[in-house]
Amino acid sequence: MGIMKRTLICETPKAVGKEVLLKGWVNTKRDHGKITFVDLRDRSGIVQVVGSGEELSSLKPEYVIEIVGEVKKRPENLVNPKLKTGEIEVEVKKVTVLSKAEELPFDMGKEVLDLTLPVLLDNRAITLRHPTQKAILKVQEVIIDAFRKALKEKDFVEFQAPSIIPEIPEGGADVFEVKYFDHKAYLAQSPQLYKQIMTGVFERVFSINKIFRAEPSVTTRHLAEVVSLDAEFGFIDSWLDVVEMAEYTIRYILKEVSEKCEKKLAMFNATIPQIKDKIPVVKLREAQEIIFKRTKIDNRKEKDLSPEDERAICEWALEEKGSELVFVSHYPTKSRPFYTYPDPDDPEFNQGFDLIGRGFEWMTGGRRIENYELLVEHAKEWGVNIEKIGLYLQAFKYGMPPEGGFAFGAERITQGILGLKNIREGTAFPRDMERVDFRLSK
Ligand code: AMO
């Protein structure tokens, strides 16, 4: 007799009356007198396995097993509509244990994993196996795939940006320094300068990279390691072309998630953010006026929106414009990175913008300065070391079209769509100032 071929669990409903070899993990086990029911899980689904005897009853959750059994139709009254394989079960003939598992520290069989965040993360290798956690990662996979697809359809070329960089492009202190042989370098805060250089090469580029932020505070929306979805393109007529491309991209992502993740969204009672017509665009100062009128809190002179402001402007956008997303543009030039394009009509403010959704920022973008002399001037004024951004400046010295771009945080989009309370749930292995896999001792 030859070796039996493995059947995937999703194929079992088509195998009624046949003997099959299944491989997977014990999801749950229930003993009913002499009869044992095991829910067996593989990459394709879950199926009920039933039998009597020590072989089955000695199994524990997360044991890795192989079983040989016969697929049988369940009687009408025992059909489980919640399972794709709910009309059948597998009557066990032989069980082989491939790998044992220790007693689980908590019940993984529940529909909702009711754990505190530290417990969820301290036990990540196990908790990631729970359907809710897998769903988050799958939704994120769809988001990233959709970003790539959206831009490829618009003729963008994907490139690989470096993670070790010689100078800080975004300004600020939230950067990890690395010892680079005998020199000092940094982990990339953003592929910003490289996507601009590459715009001089391919005209339209995007990259999907890890970026690193030494965030000195612990919040529900900041990670130290982020998946950044970056795009940049040339020959724009105005900063509004960049807004338009960003809107096209996020709409594409939302459409793909709504089409491909219906069940996963339902697990989180999540809905795709609604956008009635266009995503509204407001200038920072206009947004602050709106917020002041609504909340009576006066932040009209601030250089950025506070978390409360972000929530307030989202409420306005939904009530007045039927959109759960809103672009806020024209931040004070001095408060944004050196490369951002000052508005010719009012150079105190620039043509940079953020996309705010459901109360927090999902994306930043803008038009960039393409004029070499102005760029050098700005870099100096912003305290950027000219020598260290020599390659970047070279791209502008030798001809750069009017251009702009944007970057979404993949975890922020995931958090926004699924309504996750903490961004740490939106990534498999979150890094923050208190954690690198395990909690760091103070
Ligand atoms: P910015 O610094 O706003 O812009 O980052 C772009 C987007 O990346 C995400 N993000 C983060 N997500 C989680 N934790 C963090 N610590 C974190 N930091 C950033 C956010 C944010 O909107 N070079 C510009 C982009 C551009 O202009 O093209 C930049 O880096 O979703």
Q: What is the pLDDT of residues 117-146, one digit of tens each?
A: 999 999 999 999 999 999 999 999 999 999
Percent of the chain predicted with pLDDT > 70: 100
What is the band of 217 on the pLDDT scale with cuts at 50, 70, 90?
Answer: confident
Look at residue 117 and give its three-state secondary structure. Answer: helix
- The tokens for 201 are 């090469």
Atom of ligand 1 nearest to the CA of 352: 27
Q: Is 191 in the pocket of ligand 1 (CB under 6 A)?
A: no
Chain CA centroid to CA 57, Å: 40
Q: What is the model's pLDDT at position 1?
A: 56
Mean pLDDT, to the nearest integer, of 350-362? 98
Q: What is the model's pLDDT at position 172?
A: 74
- The tokens for 286 are 């206009």
Mean pLDDT, to the nearest integer, of 241-248? 98
pLDDT (tens digit, 9 = 90+) per residue, 47-101? 999 999 899 999 999 999 999 999 999 999 999 999 999 999 999 999 999 999 9
Which residue in 256, 247, 275 sits closest to 154, CA to CA? 247
Which residue in 170, 205, 173 sits closest to 189, CA to CA? 170
Q: What is the pTM of this model?
A: 0.97
Q: What is the model's pLDDT at position 69?
A: 98
Mean pLDDT, to the nearest integer, of 279-283? 98
Q: What is the model's pLDDT at position 78?
A: 93
Q: What is the model's pLDDT at position 119?
A: 97
Substitution candidate for ligand 1 out of 350, 361, 427 with most atoms within 8 A of CB = 361
Question: Which distant-in-sequence residues (6+ apart) come within 8 Å of 217 by Cβ?
Answer: 433
Q: What is the model's pLDDT at position 322?
A: 97
Mean pLDDT, to the nearest integer, of 200-217? 96
Q: Is 209 in the pocket of ligand 1 (CB under 6 A)?
A: no
Chain CA centroid to CA 249, Å: 15
Atom of ligand 1 nearest to the CA of 423: 13
Residue nearest to atom 12 of ligand 1 (CA): 409
Residue nearest to atom 20 of ligand 1 (CA): 409
What is the band of 339 on the pLDDT scale with cuts at 50, 70, 90?
Answer: very high
Asked if residue 232 lies in contact with residue 195, where contact means CB atoms within 8 angstroms, the answer is yes
Look at residue 171 and tell me whether its pLDDT is greater than 90. Answer: no
Quote the mean pLDDT of the chain: 96
Residue nearest to atom 23 of ligand 1 (CA): 192
Question: Domains, the chain, ranges and CATH?
Answer: 9-99 (2.40.50.140), 119-439 (3.30.930.10)
